[in-house]
Each structure stands twice: as structure tokens, then as C-alpha cells.
Amino acid sequence: MSDSTFNPAQHQASTLSLPPGPWVTVLDCLCDHFKAIDRAQWLDRIARGRVLDAQGQPINVNLAYRQGLRIHYFREVPNEKPIAAQEHILHVDEHLVVADKPHFLPVTPTGEYVEHTLLRRLIRRLDNPNLVPLHRIDRHTAGLVLFSANPDTRSAYQSLFPNRQIDKRYHAIAPALPHLTFPLVHKSRMVHGEPFFRMQEVDGQPNSETLVEVGERNGDLWRYLLYPITGKTHQLRVHMTALGASLCNDPFYPQVCAQGAEDDYSKPLKLLAQSLRFKDPLSGEERHFESRLTLDWP
């Protein structure tokens, strides 16, 4: 029997096109394809209506396997860690949703987080399964995230980012750099490093660029205004580390803190996506959103 409290429209399903194989049922295929999920878990998901066919209907446990059959399933993380920090919705219209994301909350389902993500929370609050983030900020960063609310106009807003038609400003708190002259532009070539979730700078043609200004001086710590021209993963964190001022409370740079350590909500990464400014591709109107969050001095 399916779970009567579960509304598929408020969740985003993953899709699998069944690969070639010797299986008799879809269940057999799922068990073999996803070896980390045991048969009992798949039986439980199917019983609760968490595995759907191509038409969006819950499958029967005996549904016959067929190569190429499209199956939709909803990711679940047993005993998912709750995240108490609360998001705030700043703007809602037919096309766009703008939210303030707190530190530690992922934007989309990833790893050990599925339900405790900004996307899932907004889908439930606004009852809009069509929400899709137009850009990402990482879990440790707080601030503005822009969502498309309408599939019919999504591509117009998505094009703002690769075409560099949206201005983003971040606030960051990091050690003072009195020996440098500001504003300055830092360019470098960034590639994936070790461990896999870190980025690093290497020799070669630059593929990342950040404008850095000083907003406020407070002894050994300064508040920096960061304007990313490009959008590489961890770009601002890597660039500030390269300048000699790793952001306060950064768990990845310059060194990785103990892996598996619990989040310390009293020491968030001092990085805030503070402002978004762009010309609306539909109306031509100038749009400007500012975060209501602030970064306190450590």
C-alpha cells in the first residue's frame, strides 16, 4: 500500500532507463543495479509508492523487467540528519523565486541530504514541483539563490548565467591583506584537486576571475566584497586562499578539517551571497535582490 502522506508532486524523482540484463522483474534489476540498497529497502519503497513507472504510477512488486523501461524513484537517506537552520523566501512571482539560504543547508539533494535541502523545502512550502535552481551556492555558503518557477520561461533566465548577464556580489570575512592594493582582480586556472571535493590552482590559461574590494577594516580581519566574473566551484574560497586570506571558518581551505566532523553552527563559513542584479529577460526591468542575512565578526 502506498504512503498516503507522500505527495510525489512535492518531490523530484530520479530516472533510470533499465539496462540490458537477465532479470525477471524490475525489482531484480533495481537490486542488482543499486548494490548499496538491499532488497528489503526496495520492497519497502515499492510498498510505499516511491517507485513509479513512465506514466508516474506506482509499480507492482512483480512488474516484469524490460530493457529500456523508464523507472522513476525517489532517493531516500535513512536517518537523515535534520538541519535546524531556516530559509527565508524573499520574492515569489510567476517566473522566479528568490530565497535566502542559511549556512549548512544544501541547495539540492546530494550525498546524505535529500529532504533537508533548500529545493525540497521550497517545493513543499510553495506547492510548486516545477521549481529548479538557476545557479548553486555550496552548502557552507549562505545567501541568495534564484529559482525558476515556470518551465515555459526557464531557458530565458538560465541564459543569464553562462552569458554573464547577472551581477553577483558576495561578502566575506578573512584576514587583512595590508600589503595588497585594492580593488584587484585575481585570475587563475582552477581544476579539481584532492580530495575530490576540493579545487586547486594550476599553471595554464586562466578559467576563473574574481574582482576583490575591501568593504570594512576591523583590525586583523577585513570584510571583503567579492564579485565573481566566472562561476567555478569554490572559486571565491580558492582565490582568497591564493591571496593569503582564507575565509574564516573555512573547513576545506587552506587545509581540510577533520572529515566526518559534525557541523559547528557557531562557526559558519564567513561567506554570504549578498546581492543579485540583472535585467529581466522577459520584461527588460532591472531586478535587484539583497540578502537579509549578515556576517558577524568572528
Do 28 and 151 fall within a single domain?
no
Continuous H helices in 77-137: 118-126
Question: What SS3 state is found at 148?
Answer: strand
Query: Do residues 106 and 234 both lie within one domain?
Result: yes
- Whether 243 contacts 180, CB under 8 Å: yes
Pairing assessment for the beta strands 271-279 and 221-228 based on DSSP bridges: unpaired
Q: Give the residues across from 216 on adjacent strands.
A: 223
- 147: in domain: yes
Shared-domain flag, residues 119 and 264? yes
183 & 223 share domain? yes
Number of domains in the chain: 2
The C-alpha atoms of residue 113 and residue 253 are separated, in whole angstroms, by 23
Q: Output phi, psi for 193, to 5 deg.
A: -120, -155
Nearest to 227 by CA among 240, 239, 210, 242: 210
Domain co-membership, 166 together with 222: yes
Is 22 inside a domain boundary?
yes
Domain residue limits at 179: 88-290
Task: Determine contact, residues 159/165, Cβ cutoff 8 Å.
Answer: yes
Q: Specify whether 30 is located in the same domain as 63.
A: yes
Question: Cell 565573481, residue?
Answer: 228
Q: What is the DSSP string of 162-176?
A: TTT-EEEEEEEEEE-
Are 184 and 276 in the same domain?
A: yes
Domain presence at residue 2:
no
> 34, 97 in Cβ contact below 8 A?
no
pTM for the complete prediction? Answer: 0.77
Tens of pLDDT along the chain (298 residues) come to 445 445 554 456 678 899 999 999 999 999 998 887 788 878 888 888 888 998 888 999 999 999 999 998 877 666 677 788 899 999 999 999 999 999 999 998 776 666 788 998 998 899 898 999 999 899 999 999 999 999 999 999 999 998 999 999 999 999 999 999 999 999 999 999 988 889 999 999 999 999 999 999 999 999 999 999 999 999 999 999 999 999 999 999 999 886 656 788 889 999 999 999 999 999 999 999 999 999 999 8
Check which CATH number belongs to the domain holding 35 and give it. 3.10.290.10
Domain boundary pick from 46, 73, 100 = 73
One domain, residues 25 and 100: no
Q: Is residue 117 part of a domain?
A: yes
Helix orientation angle between 26-33 and 39-47, rounded to the nearest 10 degrees: 130
* Cβ-contact 84, 59 below 8 angstroms: no
